[in-house]
Amino acid sequence: MEVRNRENAEPFTTLDGSTIRVLLDAQLGGAGEQSLAEATLAPGQSTQRHFHARSEEIYVVLAGRGEMELEGERHVVGPGDAVLIPPGSRHRIEAAGESELRFLCCCAPAYSDEDTFLE
């Protein structure tokens, strides 16, 4: 059984500009088909619009408020909201308000830089 705590996950900045902590993936925890990470954006910060050719993503907002854009459609999101991002869908998320936006990112197949295409 693999149990990882977010406090032990080293944060780093991804290609899209968010700061993430990988919780489980193939290298950390042995997940073969998916990855799970916690992402954070400072107030006013947004990810760069991008897409993943193969990976389907799910974002689950844990804290803060944001504006999610998916293929040009915008929606305000907050704690408890989940967003499905199909493969090939152009998307970005922005932290709105005065607090950090924190959300989980689940990717299947697992996230990879090679499958991330910036606009």
Q: Which residue has 């700061």 as its token pair?
A: 19
Tell me whether residue 4 is in a domain: no
Is 87 part of a structural domain of the chain? yes
Q: What domain range includes position 108?
A: 11-118
Residue 25 lies in a domain: yes
Number of structural domains the chain divides into: 1
In a domain? residue 40: yes
Q: What is the CATH number of the domain that holds 112?
A: 2.60.120.10
Q: How far apart are the first and last CA of the chain?
A: 39
Residue 24 lies in a domain: yes
Q: Residue 1: inside a domain, yes or no?
A: no
Residue at 104 is within a domain: yes
Q: Is residue 3 a part of any domain in this protein?
A: no
Instruction: Please report, in tens digits, the pLDDT of each residue of the chain (119 residues total).
Output: 888 888 889 999 988 889 999 998 877 777 889 999 999 999 999 999 999 999 999 999 999 999 999 999 999 999 999 999 999 999 999 999 899 999 999 999 999 899 999 98
Look at phi and psi of residue 69 and say left if phi exceeds 0, alpha if psi is from -120 to 50, else beta.
beta
What is the model's pTM? 0.93
